[in-house]
Amino acid sequence: MEDRTVQKKEQSQNTNHIRNTRIKDSGAKLIFDNPILCAQFLRGYTDVDILKNVQPEDIEDVSERVLWMWQENRDSDSVKKIRVADVPGIETIFLITLIEHQSKVDYDMSFRILRYIVQILTDYAEEQEKKHPGITKTKGFRYPPIIPIVFYDGPGNWTAEVNFREKVFLNDALNEFIPDFSYLVVPLSKYSDQDLVEKGDELSLIMLVDKLKSTADFQNLKEIPGDYFENIGKNSPESVLKLIGKIISVLLLKLNIPKEEVAGFTDQIERRNFAMLFENFEAYDVQETRRISKAESVLELLEDLGEIPEKLKKKIMSQRDMETLKKWHKMAARVESLGQFEQAIEELATGKDTK
């Protein structure tokens, strides 16, 4: 396949990506910086006809040329220059991939994209002027199309307006004077595990792991046919497997899985040992076991203070944050009554606790 002929190009592009300190965005940045994974995304997940045959060698990253002024806060975003074939009158389109990983939907996304569009077209016009002085002032000069895409893997649906005009006052009365464009949203929640398995590519594996919201969800992966993993392990270039390992490690760390366990998981991927991974998925329930154990230890300490109300028991056992449980454990060890404990955890929740 042509996907497998671009490893040198892929490696050179991956050495030149924008520095990103946010863990989740770092994983997304790695995906879209890689031409093989980016091509898989464009072909299989956007449902845009003009992108159905895009190959890795058709993709050029130009993010640093046009996103520099927003680099500090937008370093997970990327801009791709896509070469298209068999389209009369045009050789290049631009693609903006905007990665949204926040727990809340970005309701200003359409304006954010508008700023990018202006910067991209400004850069294009300057480039054409250098090649052909005065060309932008001619009647026949045209700008390239831009396809804005938001990949959203947060909870729930994307509820922000996708058309910029809807964000402007008096858009009905003055619609002909207001910029009118939409962006495409690709929500991860749209795809079931079966949908992703049927795609059978490396990106589908990354998305399957990205869908995990807790360590208990690893049980879902046990239902995936073994030949799915076998085919990916057999056909993927070594460089892509290493990248998959890095991306999945980022996604697993967000679940608070210990680093040594993440390292073992990704090592199996790089060794193409997917069968071993499949056998050991149960081991990744370890965090849930630790959480339950910590919650039970809090209850054991409180039992010495009297009969624990059922409501308080449920609150402690349903707490999923390990750091909070550790703090509750310390509080349970030093309080003198159940009432004092309930007051202490309430103060902690409202930010009044300073200990």
pLDDT tens for each residue of 220-261: 777 888 889 888 888 889 889 888 888 888 877 777 677 777
Instruction: Please tell me whether residues 184 and 51 are part of one structural domain.
Output: yes
- Residue 25 confidence (pLDDT): 58
Q: Which domain holds residue 321?
A: 288-349
Domains contained in the chain, number: 3
- Same-domain pairing of 168 and 42: yes
| 23-27, 149-153, 253-257, range with the lowest pLDDT | 23-27
151/25 same-domain check: yes
**Is 123 contained in some domain?**
yes
In this prediction, residues 60-77 reach a mean pLDDT of 69
Domain boundary among 145, 175, 190: 190
Domain boundary among 159, 190, 221: 190
Is the pLDDT confidence value at 135 over 90? yes
Could you tell me if 82 and 28 are in contact, meaning their C-beta atoms sit under 8 angstroms apart?
Answer: no
Contacts of 195 (CB under 8 A, 6+ apart): none
pLDDT band at 72 (very low <50, low <70, confident <90, very high): very low
The answer on 275 and 128 residing in a single domain is no
Pair 49, 184 in one domain: yes
Phi, then psi, of 83 in degrees rounded to 5: -85, 130
Residue 306 forms part of a structural domain: yes
The reply to whether 186 and 204 lie within a common domain is no
Rounded CA-CA distance 305/46 in Å is 58
| Pair 201, 312 in one domain | no
CA angle 76, 114, 190 (to 5 degrees): 55
Interatomic CA distance for residues 177 and 302, integer angstroms = 66
CA distances from 232 to 55, 205, 223, 225, 228 (A): 18, 9, 16, 12, 7
Half-sphere exposure at residue 116, Cβ-oriented, CA atoms within 13 angstroms: 31
Confidence of residue 4 (pLDDT cuts 50, 70, 90): very low
9 occurs within a structural domain:
yes
Question: At a CB cut-off of 8 Å and minimum separation 6, what does 269 contact?
Answer: 241, 244, 245, 248, 277
CB 260 within 8 A of CB 232: no
Residue 306 has what DSSP assignment? S
Distance CA 43, CA 204 (A): 12
Min mean pLDDT across 6-10, 86-90, 162-166 is at: 6-10
Residues 177 and 202 in one domain: no
Q: Do 111 and 186 belong together in one domain? A: yes
Helix (H, G, I), strand (E, B) or coil at 100: strand
Identify whether residues 79 and 164 lie together within a single domain: yes
Transcribe 17-54 into DSSP letters.
Answer: PPP---HHHHHHHHHHHSHHHHHHHHHHHS--GGGTT-
Q: In what order do the strands lie in the sheet with 59-61?
A: 59-61, 78-83, 92-100, 146-152, 184-187
CA-to-CA dists, residue 316 to 163, 276, 294, 332, angstroms: 44, 35, 10, 11
Note whether residue 355 is domain-resident. Answer: no
pLDDT band at 266 (very low <50, low <70, confident <90, very high): confident
pLDDT band at 69 (very low <50, low <70, confident <90, very high): low
Q: What is this structure's pTM? A: 0.71
Confidence at 1, pLDDT banded by 50, 70, 90: very low
39 domain residue, yes or no: yes
Q: Are residues 90 and 60 in the same domain?
A: yes
Among 165, 190, 215, residue at a domain's last position: 190
pLDDT, greater one: 185 or 272: 185
Long-range contacts made by residues 11-17, C-beta under 8 angstroms, separation at least 24? 11/239, 13/61, 14/243, 16/61, 16/64, 17/61, 17/63
Domain contains 126: yes
**Phi, psi values for residue 328, rounded to 5°:** -65, -35
Residues 98 and 217 reside in one and the same domain:
no
Residue 354 within a domain? no
